Amino acid sequence: MNDTFLQACRGERTAYTPVWFMRQAGRYLPQYQKVRGQVSFLELCKTPELATEVTLQPVDLFGFDAAILFSDILIPMEAMRLSLEFHEGRGPIFADPVRSQKAVDDLVVPVPEEAVPFVLETIRLLRRELRVPLIGFAGAPFTLATYLIEGGSSKVFLNTKKMMFREPRLYHNLMAKITACTSAYLQAQARAGAQALQLFDSWVGILAPCDYEEFALPYVRSIITDLRATTDVPIIYFANNGATLTRMTTTVGADVLGFDWRLPIGEAAARSGRHAVQGNLDPLALFLPKERLEERIHAMLTDARDARGYIFNLGHGILPETPPEQVRIAVEAVHRFSGKP
Ligand SMILES: Cc1c2[nH]c(c1CCC(=O)O)Cc1[nH]c(c(CCC(=O)O)c1C)Cc1[nH]c(c(CCC(=O)O)c1C)Cc1[nH]c(c(C)c1CCC(=O)O)C2
């Protein structure tokens, strides 16, 4: 068992720098496309044998130091009795956006073992196969709320901010329900065998710091507090585009803070104090010529040398257009430059 990744999460010294990539399983891999050609994305998420297969693909191909469960942050939202569809090229769609108290009242806080048994079964199958740690995950409440309120992806988040500012009680009622669901969901993943848990807060970067503090942060903290009472697996909090929020993200109670590429990793580490840090290569930097990509990775490893613990990652999910060969070059460079035997 290679647990370098878990050591880094805990801020322990590691023999070399562990690396995994957000969205490491996915469309940039022909092997994924082949499986995905047979089933829809949601069917793939709900079939443990297939979800296991695509989770393992990037680990086997590139030697990543951690695996991340193949699923989606919106799976537990569908389990709250919302209709969810994924449309080619348009991403996720909730046909009935949640914008009224009636709609919030209709949301069910599911029991994970009953509502999403396939996720827990995938975790159990993966633990039998893997020689590196398995990361479970969930969306953080604000990010999930944007999908429910907007009915899908968004650019300006008009409906979300309108609800926050004009109907704060409705907004907070919705957030409380999403938080209860997410808390139970992550605890169930840990019970099933997930060895670390990442909260993806993909859209908090659109919030003013004062609004983050009032409308997002308390719910993240509450989930982490619940987790601390029931499990000791390391917790990673990724606040995408969150450089302006670090004064607050350092208080949510996570072990590891994930960073996008807008802040140099050394500065991120300095701001993160006792936390380990994870990140933060621009996913598009994977398009650099080999030599320049290697230089960039070398510079990041040097910049992060004073971090309490460092996990190399991208600053956001890998793009479907990425050549797999470039991923191989990057992982190999992280390992070689950081002294993997
Ligand atoms: C916001 C968000 C979502 N999903 C997720 C986030 C948070 C991280 C982030 O900010 O990127 C998280 C996620 N989604 C997926 C994973 C799997 C694990 C991994 O390899 O990282 C994880 C951790 C698979 C996926 N989730 C999705 C795919 C593509 C589905 C396909 O095969 O067509 C995959 C592999 C679909 C998805 N899911 C979501 C969107 C907006 C889309 C469509 C956009 C797109 O098509 O790339 C919501």
235-265 tens-digit pLDDT: 999 999 999 999 999 999 999 999 999 999 9
Q: Which two tokens stand for residue 85?
A: 């569809």
User: Percent of the chain at pLDDT above 90?
Assistant: 98
C-beta 200 within 6 A of ligand 1: yes
- Which ipTM score applies to this complex? 0.93
C-beta of residue 195 within 8 angstroms of C-beta of residue 135 = yes
Beta strands 196-201; 235-239: pairing state: parallel
Alpha-carbon gap, residue 337 to 334, rounded angstroms: 6
CATH number at residue 151: 3.20.20.210
Pocket test residue of 45, 72, 154, 155 for ligand 1, highest count of atoms within 8 A of CB: 72
Answer yes or no: is pLDDT of 18 > 90: yes
**Ligand 1, atom 44, residue with closest C-alpha:** 91
Segments forming the whole domain that contains residue 48: 4-337
Q: Average pLDDT in the 9-37 region?
A: 97
Q: Average pLDDT in the 76-104 region?
A: 95
Q: Average pLDDT in the 219-235 region?
A: 98
In eight-state DSSP terms, residue 244 is G
- Per the listing, tokens 């944007």 go with 146
Number of structural domains (the chain) is: 1
**Ligand 1, atom 19, residue with closest C-alpha:** 23
Per residue in 38-48, pLDDT tens? 999 999 999 99
Alpha-carbon gap, residue 270 to 49, rounded angstroms: 42
Per residue in 179-200, pLDDT tens? 999 999 999 999 999 999 999 9
C-beta 26 within 6 A of ligand 1: yes
Question: Model-level pTM?
Answer: 0.97
Query: Which atom of ligand 1 is the closest one to the Cα of 22?
Result: 21
Answer yes or no: is pLDDT of 101 > 90: yes
Catalogue the active-site residues. Answer: 23, 27, 36, 72, 147
Assign 90 a pLDDT band (cuts: 50, 70, 90): confident
C-beta 310 within 6 A of ligand 1: no
